[in-house]
Amino acid sequence: MMDYKELCVKVIETAKKAGAFMKKEQEGFSESKVEEKSINSLVSYVDKTAEKMIVDDLLKYLPEAGFIAEEGTSTKIGETYNWIIDPLDGTTNYIHGLPTYAVSIALKKNDKIVLGVVLEVGMNECFYAYGNNKAYLNKKEIHVKTTSELKDTLIATGFPYYDFSRNEAFYNTLITYTQKTRGMRRLGTAATDLVYVACGRFDAFYEYGLSPWDVAAGAFIVEQAGGKVSDYKGENDWLFGKEIIATSSNIYNDFAQIVFDEFNKNDTNLD
């Protein structure tokens, strides 16, 4: 039987090693070393090197596992286990010298996430969960907020940066939330936004246009911290569905209904 606790300890060590590398390289980093993969999707040798470091370690820990990794270091597909990796979530922040960026590593067994580690490098905060256990921040148990009214909440989101087809619905939600909550925040890293929901700094997070490596670890940590995660229709297609809502359980219905109403009435993909 897999010892997820022991494996999680090793994954944390790997995340910290990659984080230390990235933090060191950010000193004197030059934008001349940046490539544009697609519109507003940036990458550098830092992302690629960090991912290789992570993949090399994970292959030692679980040789039979495959990978879903942002930079494509390995395209191996595992029969049962697959790692989902974002070596540097918040690349644009990193390139511009901002301290908010994260390492995100999740392990998927068949169709279920069973382990998640998010290292928020700038704050040196490691969030993690494994198996059916609780969620933790630097060895201390964490929980989502218990706030029950939207007027008392702080909300996080991410602005569209390549898929602008749903802008109207998105900006309509911003108008509503700015009027009904304490405010909105945009950090520039979905992995960090999610774990901040898990530890109660944010009450909710939502964003569309995301990839599995952006959300896998953070969303699992939210769930283990007592929160609720869904797609924009209230269903469970958040890992590959390119949209996610993550909230404390108490406010999910009120918060999510605003997203449902705006996005579903404007979603041309609906039958």
Confidence of residue 271 (pLDDT cuts 50, 70, 90): very low
Contact partners, residue 163, CB within 8 Å, separation at least 6: 208, 209, 242
The model's pLDDT over 122-163, given as tens digits with 9 standing for 90+, comes to 999 999 999 999 999 999 999 999 999 999 999 999 998 778
pTM: 0.93
Q: Give residue limits of the domains in the chain.
A: 4-141, 150-266
The model's pLDDT over 230-259, given as tens digits with 9 standing for 90+, comes to 999 999 999 999 999 999 999 999 999 999
CA 177 to centroid of chain Cα atoms: 21
* Rounded Cα gap, residues 64 and 226, in angstroms: 31
* Rounded Cα gap, residues 228 and 224, in angstroms: 9
Give residue for tokens 């292959």: 59
**Per-residue pLDDT at 266:** 47
Q: Which residue has the higher pLDDT, 82 or 72?
A: 82
| Angle, in degrees to the nearest 10, between helices 167-180 and 252-266 | 150
Same fold, 4-141 and 150-266: no
* Rounded Cα gap, residues 214 and 116, in angstroms: 12
Q: Which CATH number fits domain 150-266: 3.40.190.80, 3.40.50.970, 3.40.640.10, 3.40.718.10?
A: 3.40.190.80
**Per-residue pLDDT at 70:** 85
Q: Does domain 4-141 have CATH number 2.60.40.1840?
A: no
Side chain identity at residue 181, one-letter code: T
Which helix or strand (DSSP H or E) is residue 213 part of? helix 212-224
* Rounded Cα gap, residues 159 and 162, in angstroms: 9
**Per-residue pLDDT at 265:** 81
